[in-house]
A = this chain, B = another copy of it.
Amino acid sequence: MPAALPDDTRPTLAQVARIAGVSEITASRAMRGTTLVAQDTLARVQAAAQALNYVPNRLAGTLAGGQSRQVAVVLPSLSNSVFADVLKGLETRLEQDGYHVILGVSNYDPAHEERLITELLTWRPAGLVLAPAESTPGSRRMLAASGLPVVEIMDIDRAPVDVAVGLSQRAAGQDMARFLLQRGYRRMAYLGHDISVDPRARARRDGFCAALAEAGLTLEAMLLLPGPSSVGLGRKGTAQLLDRLSVGGLAVCYSNDDMAVGGMFHAMAQGLLVPADLALAGFNGLSIGQALPQPLTTIESRRVLIGEQAASCVLNRLHGLAIDPVQNVGFRLIPGATA
């Protein structure tokens, strides 16, 4: 059952070579510019390629030659703009060097993630970048055995298989707690999406709680809602939370900015005073939070940078350069006006 469509009649290098009156290998060299080829030979080959509308076949090239110029990227989600930003950084940097992204989205499912890794590996990518969900032992074994550059992004708290690029999510959580404490808040609550599948959000929350504990405090309430984070969920959750808790000097730490913006909307709709009645803190430093009537108190994460730096790691590795196995891009607390 041969494919219905393309009668794959695309010109090959051999045809280009014939027209240019040179051998195939010379044409190959002319097209790639790796080895020296006489000026006029080069011109003839280029002309022939142009005339035939020749498009090189990188499958064949890679198979014969070696390094693929594809990098596999596995992300847990795309609905969250965080990963879209990271992907943008990755794509931008990789493309500069003529590399391309093959994408997999795991939906925060470790088993799915493992399957994706297996499948993407069949394309023999030059490297792998992933924001692991809760990677299975199987995944980690495969990655280690692949012999490829493997960059785990977003979090640097766990020991990486190979290289990690990101920030300490735990430290970010701690810093936010300390900031709120320093501002004088003593009544704290946490509102998150389903962090059982999101290890980074969990790490932040754990850091937040740990810092509270150091100060002898505990959360007045912790609400975890099923489903992915969203503005709507944050709004709904805030309403629920305030059914149980009195306002006035209450600070709510959200799992991220989306959720926090939802909280802000709830406050606005209810005519609550922010931060007097209700203080809010997010995470990510999304532009929407900063465009709110009151800028959101949050932590800036450098998502595009993480993507770019992860890409650079892969590329440097491929060029045989030594690289730091743990790369901390840091974060920055944005005081804002909601806490």
> Interface on A for B, CB 8 Å cutoff?
2-9, 53, 55-60, 62-63, 66-68, 70, 78-79, 81, 84-85, 87-88, 91-92, 95, 98, 100-105, 116, 118-124, 145-149, 230-232, 234-235, 258, 261-262, 265, 268-269, 287-288, 290-293, 317-320
Decide: A265 near B287, CB < 8 A? Known: A78-B85, A102-B100, A102-B101: no
Q: What are 30 A-B residue pairs whose CB atoms fall within 8 Å in the complex?
A: A2-B66, A3-B66, A3-B67, A4-B318, A4-B320, A7-B147, A8-B147, A55-B118, A55-B121, A58-B122, A58-B124, A59-B63, A59-B123, A60-B63, A78-B84, A78-B88, A79-B85, A79-B88, A81-B84, A91-B103, A95-B104, A95-B105, A100-B120, A230-B287, A231-B288, A235-B291, A261-B291, A262-B291, A265-B293, A288-B288
B104–A100 touching, CB < 8 Å: yes
Q: Which residue of B lies closest to A148 (CB)?
A: B6
In angstroms, how far is the closest chain B Cβ from the Cβ of A161?
14
In angstroms, how far is the closest chain B Cβ from the Cβ of A127?
9
- Chain B residues closer than 8 Å to A79, beta-carbon distance: 81, 84-85, 88
Copies, count:
2
A147–B6 touching, CB < 8 Å: yes
B103–A123 touching, CB < 8 Å: no
